[in-house]
Amino acid sequence: MIDKKHLKEFIKIVGRENIYNDKAHMIAYSYDATRTKFEPDAVIFPRHEQDVSDILKYCNRHKIVVTPRGAGSGFTGGALPANGGIILAMEKHMNRILEIDTQNMVAVVQPAVINIDLQRAVEKLGLFYPPDPASEEYSTLGGNVSENAGGMRAAKYGITKDFVMALRAVRANGDIIQAGKRTIKDVAGYNIAGILIASEGTLAVLTELTLKLIPKPKYKKTYMGVFPNVNSAMSAVFKSLASGANPVAMEFLDRLVIQALIEKLGINLPKDAGGVLVGDVDGNVPEEIEFQLNTLRDSFIQNGAKEFIVAKDEDEAKKLWYARKNASQSITIYGNKKLNEDISVPRSMLPEALDRIYSIGDRYGFKIPCFGHAGDGNIHVNVMIDKSQIDEGHKCIEEIFKLVVDMGGTLSGEHGIGTSKAPFMDIAFTKEELQLFKDIKTAFDKNGILNPAKMGL
């Protein structure tokens, strides 16, 4: 429990209406998408950047732990108060789009703006913000930056870090800093913005983001390729990209996912399909769209595709995408609990990676349905277990992590490390690299009050 004298000081900063320590709030802010529970001691809603600074100054002086939080939609525990203390909840007040600069094509936003709200606002002006995590309907842009979120459009446009031009943040001692500019070129000083992106709130609290926008493409088409096996589909991924295809998205479903979609949701997919690739192409002239689709069709057929389907209109496009968007909920037919990881490998390694992941599953007796972002090598690996098999499931995951790192891949393509992957950091990084992370943490947060127990820090 937090001392009453501290609560009184926080009330002086933000007002009684913006601080809570009742049981209902403690429970509401103790979860994220991991369903792991850590209760905070209080929840504070800062009204603006100066509140954040004043709160952190006080907490740093009294060594009170602070966990920044947006929507709490993360899959790795990044926004959980693992060591108790204060939840700094941004969603109540710091949720405004401050500026859309159409001349320089940037948006300036507060951290609790919902991703899809920014997308819709800029599209009305003929602009486009491409990063589109699956949680775009409710995840905040501050959370997206803190985790360096990916999304289905990453194959062509990249991930969150590719669209952050500048940010404002508050260090643990209350210092307010500006990192980056809204200029296209900026090579002065260290890339502090780059260090804060994906830092999961362990280094500073984000208070303002300047995000790059691009012109919205005029045309878009949706395609689907159906393959006899997932290896053929995975080979078609890197070979079609090497042939000049540049799809917005290239998502895949393996045989287990396809069967689950047919059995549980009645989705109309060929029962003998072993792999599916689905995605979009976009461009500003119809000829560009046709070139992209023809390149994909030729490459898919050369790699064994049985069908290549192009949606005739938006309704058909939604039907093709429906299978991919419901993959996660369908695979519960294979077990009452899933261990979902988001590993990433070089695209050319996708066929081998999947073969070896399935082999690990066979050894443990687990089904491992896989789907995800084939266009950027990001696989959602789902180890399906019963609740009595948790320990064996985690051993299986650890083997998969070791395999992926040995293949030149990484522990996470978009979900981050948080608490759930922190025990595996030494698989991906040397002791010297981990020490460097700790040194950076100390430089930003000498007393270790910001989001401790995350990323192995």
Residue 368 CA to residue 381 CA, distance in Å, equals 7
Which among 89, 105, 134 is the end of a domain? 89
Tell me, yes or no, whether 457 lies in a domain. no
Residue 1, pLDDT above cutoff 90: no
Structural domain boundaries, residue 169? 97-215
Q: What is the pLDDT of residues 41-68, one digit of tens each?
A: 999 999 999 999 999 999 999 999 999 9
- pLDDT confidence tier of residue 35, bands split at 50, 70 and 90: confident
Residues 258 and 355 in one domain: yes
Tell me, yes or no, whether 454 lies in a domain. no
Residue 345, pLDDT above cutoff 90: yes
Residues 254 and 306 in one domain: yes
Residues 162 and 292 in one domain: no
3-state secondary structure of 395: helix
Q: What is the pLDDT of residues 298-335, one digit of tens each?
A: 999 999 999 999 999 999 999 999 999 999 999 999 99
- pLDDT confidence tier of residue 359, bands split at 50, 70 and 90: very high
Residue 388 CA to residue 441 CA, distance in Å, equals 38
Which among 183, 215, 247 is the end of a domain? 215
Q: What is the pLDDT of residues 212-259, one digit of tens each?
A: 999 999 999 999 999 999 999 999 999 999 999 999 999 999 999 999
Q: What is the pLDDT of residues 76-101, one digit of tens each?
A: 999 999 999 999 999 999 999 999 99
Q: Would residue 126 be called left, alpha or beta, if left means φ above 0 and alpha means ψ between -120 and 50 degrees?
A: left
CATH number at residue 309: 3.40.462.10
Residues 211 and 231 in one domain: no
For the chain, give the mean pLDDT. Answer: 96
Residues 211 and 350 in one domain: no
What average pLDDT does range 277-282 have in this prediction? 98
Secondary element (H or E) of residue 320: helix 314-325
Tell me, yes or no, whether 357 lies in a domain. yes
Residues 75 and 114 in one domain: no
Q: How many domains does the chain have?
A: 3
Buried b / exposed e across 129-144, counting CB within 10 Å, b at 16+? bbbbbbbbeebbbbbb
Query: What pTM value is reported for the model?
Result: 0.96
Residues 124 and 211 in one domain: yes
The amino acid present at 302, given as its one-letter code, is: Q
Residue 444 CA to residue 251 CA, distance in Å, equals 38
Residues 248 and 393 in one domain: yes
CATH number at residue 126: 3.30.465.10
> How far from chain centre, in Å, is Cα 330?
21
- Torsions phi, psi of 440, nearest 5? -65, -45
Q: What is the pLDDT of residues 5-27, one digit of tens each?
A: 999 999 999 999 999 999 999 99
